[in-house]
Amino acid sequence: MAVYILDNSEELGEKAADLIAKKLNEAIEKRGQARIILSTGASQFETIKYLVEKNVDWEKVTMFHLDEYLELPETHKASFRRYLKERFTSKVPVKVHFVNTEGDVEENLKELTREIRKDIIDIGVIGIGENGHIAFNDPPADFETREAYRIVSLEERCRKQQLNEGWFPTLDEVPFKAVSMTPYQIMQCETIVSSVPGERKAEAVRNTLKSEEVTNMVPATLLKTHKDWHLFLDKESSSLIDS
């Protein structure tokens, strides 16, 4: 585990993007391709902004999508497919596998599982939620399943986070269910990079780092057992570490 504390979210995003690009380039040099998982949300704005500017042979990169709301059309401003298309896939020529939550969702997930398990995932860009979740694996997260993706229920604090970030006008409009990559599948990444800026994430960061055990009540504690986890914080998100 490596922890980096930067002054602000801009510096955090740039440094995280530097590392992600380095890992992608190493994979391309070694295997002729690279495979990445991208998370979304407000906490990833700066990381993705800087990542698309990096010198990477993007045509040799395949991107997998981490999670998506169930029964939310791609046209909705909160859609993570829309988010990634606007901020990432429209700017770099990567191959893409989205979490498609429209149509036959179960069949979509079977196909996505086949694709993600064809080869190793070089790097996962995995945020941490205010409730300590990774992807949409809210506490108590299922650490036992060996599925790649599953349909999950969103707990209230997670739904309030989406409201407070401005993706929905009212709490009632935040979906109750989503498709999420599982903790098991996340942990299969060769490297995990977590960009976690902002004061609202300080409690989750403290709970993750200070917990003496891995617990599904703070799902991000699982990341501490990964062989190559890099956690990027700013002054605000790191403010409670010593408390």
| Whether pLDDT at 243 is above 70 | no
Read off the tokens for 130: 């205010």
Beta bridge partners of 150: 180
C-alpha triplet 69, 74, 75: angle, nearest 5°: 125
| Whether pLDDT at 23 is above 80 | yes
What are the extents of the domains in the chain? 1-232
The C-alpha atoms of residue 115 and residue 152 are separated, in whole angstroms, by: 21
Q: Residues 72-107: pLDDT tens digits?
A: 999 999 999 999 999 999 999 999 999 999 889 999
- Average pLDDT, rounded, for the chain: 96
Half-sphere exposure (CA, 13 Å, Cβ side) for 102?
9
Read off the tokens for 38: 């991208």
Q: Would you place residue 53 in the very low, low, confident or very high pLDDT band (cuts 50, 70, 90)? A: very high
Read off the tokens for 236: 């605000």
Q: Residues 129-156: pLDDT tens digits?
A: 999 999 999 999 999 999 999 999 999 9
Read off the tokens for 19: 């590392």
Could you tell me the CA-to-CA distances from 31 to 59, 119, 243 in Å, in that order?
14, 11, 44
pLDDT at site 6: 98
User: Selecting from 3.60.15.10, 3.40.1170.60, 3.40.50.1360, 1.10.3720.10, what CATH number does the domain 1-232 have?
Assistant: 3.40.50.1360
